Structure 1
Amino acid sequence: MSERHLSAQQLGRLLDTDRSARPFYRALAQGVRGLVRDGSVPVRMRMPAERHLAQELGVSRTTVTAAYDLLREQGYLDSRQGSGSWTALPDPSVCADNPWLSVDDDGLLQMHCAAPPATTMLTEAVAGAMEDLPRYGMGTGYDPMGLPALRERVAAHYTARGLATRPEQILVTTGSQHALQLVMSLLLTPGDPVVVESPTYPHAIDAARHRGARIVPVGITAEGWQPDLMAGAMRQSAPRLAYLMPDFQNPTGALMDNATRAAVVGMARRAGTTLLVDETWTELGIDAPNEAAPMAAFDTDSRVITIGSASKLWWGGLRIGWIRTTAALARGLAVHRSAVDIASPVLDQLVVARLFDRIEETRAERRRSLTASRSALVAALREHLPEWSFTVPRGGGTLWVRLAGEGATPLAEAAAYHGVRLAPGPWFGVSGTLEGYLRLPFTQSPQVITEAVARLAEARATGPVGSRPADPLIRMV
């Protein structure tokens, strides 16, 4: 164990923590975390004893204990009973300080999560599904491939989009994240190269890391993809898999045109790469319906695997997703899933099947709400934070904002003290990159968005001071 240690007096001099901040234990934990992140306090440095630091700071030992507990939870302290605590950095594959796990009632406006509320059609769909449910009660309820009624609707939807699909090619999953895990765990072995967009969906990076894959990032912007960069990555790394989100990409909102889709599929064919295409945001065109062809429409040798989800169009609480692939691979994935969950919930599948029958109405409803919220976000940013730059996407649910010199991570920490939870750019990158960016969703109501941006501007100006709101506006959603 390292003999390097930090005294309470040394740490007290390094900390620049507002003693009036409430709760103070969080401010103290944030101060220590910042010192570790910027290298002021090295990793594997022994921290002062709780009672000594409490005396130095003039606070109770309970306060310091709570701060140390929070740092341990977030991965910034390692402790051994009877031996003390040492500074650490969280394992990125575990995401110990991942604020995606925050609860809705923590008093912060939830601007870190791009999830719209449930469609107004949900209640009617649930009632209809309850009427359907007794007919399925005679069986076991376990269908690893998914209910035929839902698979038929998903297949019909792909066919209507110009991609002929049979129900046998559809595997119903327990959400799109489950679909990601299934495909990666079946097709990847530790050390396999995987191409991902940068920035990209954080949980896709997590899934690849958990599988032990070697991640190969390819930069994109809100203006789109650069085919030569993608071609170079595939040629040089010969990836086993490439994860792409061509429709209103999360977080940039970019929409890939048909020519680029065809070109990327051709690159994958030459490199021997399987494309895992995430269509979670596909249905959420705002300025006009998304008329881009499914990426699998350009596939000639069954190397495109497509995943979809009910979460953005209908509701995240419906944990239903699907995989479109060959019939043989769909069956193989169904067998593979038995180690995880055997089958997806029958009632949720029946609800989604009902909602597919009203997909045009849902699209129109989402278009109205997202248009209003996007306008509110753009107007608020231009009023309060005109130095920041962004491209307004034609659909999806997020703005990818370029900051004006400040760091996204300290800004997100400051915003929490002003009642806003944010998603800083490094969440969406690899190895701490993208610190100059922030993802802001427009899936909340215009009122919440307007208030959140005003608080964000205040946080940028004043830093981590104040306390969290006693009456959170999150209740307005």
Structure 2
Amino acid sequence: MTNDMTDVAGLLGLWASGTGPLYDQLALGIIRLIESGDIVVGTRLPPERDFAKALAVSRTTIISAYAKLQELGWLERRQGAGTWVTRPVEDSRKALNSPVGATSYAITRVLNAAVQPAPGVIDLATAAYKDAHHVHDVLASLLPEDLAVYGELGGYHPLGIPELRSAVATFLSQRGVPTTLNQVVITTGVQQAAQIILSVYAPTGHPVAVESPTWNCILDILRMLGGVVIPLPVDDRGAVLGEISRLAQTSNLRAIWMTSGYHNPTGVEVARERVHEAARLAEETRTPIIENATLRELGLRPGNAPLTVAHYAPTGPVITVGSLSKLLSPVLRLAWLRAPESIVRQIARQKTVWDSGSSLLPQIVAARLLESWADIAASRRETTARNLAAAESALQELLPDWSYRAPDGGQSLWVTMPRGDSRPFAHLAMREGVEVLPGSIFSWEDSPCPNLRVSLTRSPAETVEGLGRLARAWRKA
């Protein structure tokens, strides 16, 4: 929740995705935030000119929205003192209990899309493949007896079904990280894995080093947990650990979150020496390294997949997190984590409190699909490469003054606008029918940023059309 006018634009997320005049959509978005308790009574709303700039709309739109809210009794305008929320929230306890992490741009975007879908909008924000034909093939082959065997204990398998854990262990062992079944936990997505791990290793008020920029969901989790974040700079070789090595030896640093493989959002391949340095740091200081290896199999250049921290420190305090959804299909909503057995026991106790077992059917399907992981990964890489070629051609033609670095791997393109802040531009782009993510949400500081993350998981035709709409928005910026 907020009573700070500087937070309101961020809380709104992508508000202009409905129908009707913009001022009506804006007024409705503000009302929803007040009703949910994210904006509390006594909040001073931003001045009209500043708010218009933040949302990339005209000042007239803001004036009209404020006038409508005042007419409906939601606002009070005080001469010379600004515009204030006056209508009380129906349940004040809801406002008091609203978690900090639940008000971020990214979370607001996902919730708004679920509550009020925007037909016709091209989604270049979500970096996940949509297809599920591999899943369909497995489902068609399953027999009733294949499913009934998992009914013991009410279907509760808090660590994951043994067949899938064994398949993940085999997969990792084949990729150079010797792993046993008891070193693997299956979770409902990478977000759940990260939340469980950080609730164990980064309780409220304890410092965690996090690369910046990084996967945005980890920042929401740390905000919700009340984490203290030490940003790690990222260059074209991955996270820069230099200063953190000293802090790990001299302070109460609880954990380090970093990427191995291919970095989200920049797409750079994390250099082998950076990964090796992290392994040495973990073993020498006993500081847990939590490595996000989600995109490791999705390289876009010839050669073997990058090595992980666990490769260099297989028995050290290293927790590796990977996604089955990214590789196999998003309909599975599954992830895995790999760690020494002593760490797995701590994580398993925490997971069992929150979740006595991820859904069984996706696990059964994933266990069978992992037998074909190499072919599926190759198909993913080919698809992304085609979409990248289409995106590069469209950018050069439609947005020649924008810049980007071709990604080494992953599922997205990190582009740089020649001027301005990408957050208000993302609002403007949505009104042109294309959704992208502003770069600021990938950093703890959440400060103005000229970068945008553009997904490469749509078809070439959708990608080109989406970038065409982005170009239209840029001409109006």
Shorter-chain TM-score range: 0.7 to 0.9
What's 1:93 paired with?
101
Distance across 1 between alignment mates of 2:159 and 2:139: 22
Give yes or no for the alignment of 1:120 onto 2:133: yes
Q: 1:102 and 1:229, CA in 2 relative to 1: closer, same or farther beyond 3 A?
A: farther
Per the alignment, in what secondary structure is the counterpart of residue 185 of structure 2?
Answer: strand
The answer (yes or no) to whether the contact 2:263–2:295 under 8 Å persists in 1 is yes
Q: 1:186 and 1:30, CA in 2 relative to 1: closer, same or farther beyond 3 A?
A: closer
Per the alignment, in what secondary structure is the counterpart of residue 145 of structure 1?
Answer: coil
- C-alpha displacement of 1:217: 0.8
Amino acid at match of 1:117: K
The answer (yes or no) to whether the contact 1:408–1:438 under 8 Å persists in 2 is yes
What's 1:150 paired with?
164
Give yes or no for the alignment of 1:340 onto 2:347: no
- C-alpha displacement of 1:252: 0.6
Distance across 2 between alignment mates of 1:152 and 1:197: 31
Identity percentage over the alignment? 27
Give the TM-score taking structure 1 as reference length. Answer: 0.79
What's 2:375 paired with?
361
Amino acid at match of 1:26: Q
What's 1:72 paired with?
none
The answer (yes or no) to whether the contact 1:29–1:67 under 8 Å persists in 2 is no
Per the alignment, in what secondary structure is the counterpart of residue 113 of structure 2?
Answer: coil
Distance across 1 between alignment mates of 2:252 and 2:143: 49
Amino acid at match of 1:171: V
What's 1:186 paired with?
200
Amino acid at match of 1:399: L
The answer (yes or no) to whether the contact 2:27–2:65 under 8 Å persists in 1 is no
User: How many matched pairs?
Assistant: 419
Per the alignment, in what secondary structure is the counterpart of residue 44 of structure 2?
Answer: coil
Distance across 1 between alignment mates of 2:357 and 2:118: 33
Deviation string, structure 1 residues 29-68 (Cα, Å, up to 9, x no partner): 7999xxxxxxxxxx943799xxxx99x7499948975998
Q: 1:130 and 1:447, CA in 2 relative to 1: closer, same or farther beyond 3 A?
A: farther
Q: 1:391 and 1:429, CA in 2 relative to 1: closer, same or farther beyond 3 A?
A: same
What's 1:22 paired with?
21
The answer (yes or no) to whether the contact 1:222–1:253 under 8 Å persists in 2 is no
What's 1:81 paired with?
88
Give the TM-score taking structure 2 as reference length. Answer: 0.79
Amino acid at match of 1:417: R
Amino acid at match of 1:347: L
Q: 1:257 and 1:380, CA in 2 relative to 1: closer, same or farther beyond 3 A?
A: same
1:198-217 paired onto structure 2 within 5 Å: 198-217=212-231
Distance across 1 between alignment mates of 2:46 and 2:382: 53
The answer (yes or no) to whether the contact 1:238–1:273 under 8 Å persists in 2 is no
What's 1:370 paired with?
384
Q: 1:311 and 1:434, CA in 2 relative to 1: closer, same or farther beyond 3 A?
A: farther
The answer (yes or no) to whether the contact 1:30–1:413 under 8 Å persists in 2 is no
Amino acid at match of 2:408: R
The answer (yes or no) to whether the contact 2:402–2:415 under 8 Å persists in 1 is yes
What's 1:436 paired with?
450
Per the alignment, in what secondary structure is the counterpart of residue 344 of structure 2?
Answer: helix
Deviation string, structure 1 residues 118-151 (Cα, Å, up to 9, x no partner): 3431111222345521232355210111111111
Amino acid at match of 1:339: V
What's 1:247 paired with?
261
1:23-62 paired onto structure 2 within 5 Å: 23-26=22-25, 44-45=43-44, 57=64, 61=68
Deviation string, structure 1 residues 286-339 (Cα, Å, up to 9, x no partner): 223543222101116521101111111112221211111112322232221122
Amino acid at match of 1:256: V
Higher-helix-fraction structure: 2
- C-alpha displacement of 1:80: 3.4
Single out whichever of 58-67 and 207-216 deviates more from structure 2: 58-67
Distance across 2 between alignment mates of 1:270 and 1:64: 64
Task: Give the one of 320, 323, 333 matched to 1:319.
Answer: 333
- C-alpha displacement of 1:392: 0.7
Where do 5+ consecutive residues of structure 1 fail to align?
A: 6-16, 33-42, 69-75, 84-89, 464-477
Give yes or no for the alignment of 1:408 onto 2:422: yes
Per the alignment, in what secondary structure is the counterpart of residue 155 of structure 2?
Answer: coil
Where do 5+ consecutive residues of structure 2 fail to align?
A: 6-15, 32-41, 48-59, 76-82, 91-97
Q: 1:21 and 1:64, CA in 2 relative to 1: closer, same or farther beyond 3 A?
A: farther
Give yes or no for the alignment of 1:454 onto 2:468: yes
The answer (yes or no) to whether the contact 1:25–1:64 under 8 Å persists in 2 is no
Deviation string, structure 1 residues 390-411 (Cα, Å, up to 9, x no partner): 1111211011112201210111
Q: 1:397 and 1:182, CA in 2 relative to 1: closer, same or farther beyond 3 A?
A: same
Give yes or no for the alignment of 1:106 onto 2:113: no
Distance across 2 between alignment mates of 1:320 and 1:360: 18
Amino acid at match of 2:111: L
Deviation string, structure 1 residues 65-103 (Cα, Å, up to 9, x no partner): 5998xxxxxxx98553399xxxxxx98632254213342
Deviation string, structure 1 residues 270-295 (Cα, Å, up to 9, x no partner): 44421001111111122235432221
Per the alignment, in what secondary structure is the counterpart of residue 138 of structure 2?
Answer: helix
Q: 1:364 and 1:58, CA in 2 relative to 1: closer, same or farther beyond 3 A?
A: closer
The answer (yes or no) to whether the contact 1:284–1:395 under 8 Å persists in 2 is yes
Q: 1:407 and 1:142, CA in 2 relative to 1: closer, same or farther beyond 3 A?
A: same
What's 1:283 paired with?
297
Amino acid at match of 1:306: T
The answer (yes or no) to whether the contact 1:222–1:391 under 8 Å persists in 2 is no
Task: Give the one of 319, 323, 330 matched to 2:344.
Answer: 330
The answer (yes or no) to whether the contact 1:288–1:394 under 8 Å persists in 2 is no
Distance across 1 between alignment mates of 2:316 and 2:174: 19
Task: Give the one of 402, 424, 427 matched to 2:438.
Answer: 424
